[in-house]
Amino acid sequence: MHFVIMGCGRVGSTLALSLEQQGHSVAVIDRDESAFRRLGGSFEGRRVLGIGFDRQTLAQAGIDEAYAFAAVSSGDNSNILAARVARETFDVEHVVARIYDPGRAEIYQRLGIPTVATVRWTSDQVLRRLLPQGAVPVHTDPSGRVVVAEVPVNIGWAGHRLSRVAAEAGVSVAYVTRLGESFLPDADTAYQEGDLVHVLTTTDRLEQVESTLSAQPPADL
């Protein structure tokens, strides 16, 4: 798969190298040529000098063939603009933007751009949002029978109460991470696009739970 990254700072360079090590093709965009030094001499991907929200620059980076786009530069406005261009002009389905101001993150989230406030930002979080993957165990009890796992939830569940989502999958929701902040949901908390849902279940049921929540909800819900 091909990935385009805007911003070659610490997060951007780490992300690019991680993706390349996993066998993916990568293009990195930055307006400062010296920033590419963070990639090292072994990086085989594209280094594109330019502005990340410029359509010609994005085209040079191979945005037309991109599976995902990550805007992780140092500017909120640039990141959001680039993310919207990638999604709305080039129809890139998997897009994520780095946001420094948590207060603005919610606004952009409502525009359909997944965001993470920089206080909570790590390259690992970016990878989780960009790469297709299943449930990610975050804690397993000593017996190995009970697990807390981050489980992908189909966007079709958006607007449904998490209590209903949990009942359908036969799990308990341990906690939710929204816009970089984790909290315990109450009975009326609804699932929102971009939420990271952590469930408590038994290890032998994890695959079935993942299958249920990654699918569209039943039509009669």
Encode burial over 173-209: b for 16+ CB neighbours within 10 A, e otherwise: bbbbbbbbeeeebeeebebbebbbbbbebeeeebeeb
User: How many CB atoms are closer than 10 A to CB 7?
Assistant: 27
**pLDDT reported for residue 106:** 64
Distance CA 101, CA 120 (A): 11
Mean pLDDT value of segment 22-31: 95
> DSSP characters for 101-134?
-HHHHHHHHHTT--EEEGGG--HHHHHHHHS---
Let me know: does 198 contact 150? Beta carbons within 8 Å. yes
Domains and CATH numbers, the chain: 2-130 (3.40.50.720), 136-214 (3.30.70.1450)
User: How many CB atoms are closer than 10 A to CB 215?
Assistant: 13
Q: What order do you get walking across the sheet with 181-183 strand by strand?
A: 136-140, 146-151, 196-202, 172-178, 181-183
Q: What is the mean pLDDT of the chain?
A: 87
**pLDDT reported for residue 34:** 96
Going by C-alpha positions, the residue among 115, 128, 180, 127 that lies closest to residue 15 is: 127
Structure token pair of residue 62? 């191979």
Report the Cα 55 to chain-centroid distance in Å. 23
Digit-coded pLDDT (tens) for 72-131:
998 888 998 999 999 999 999 888 888 877 667 666 666 667 666 554 455 666 666 676
**pLDDT reported for residue 119:** 46
SS3 187: coil
Global model pTM greater than 0.85: no
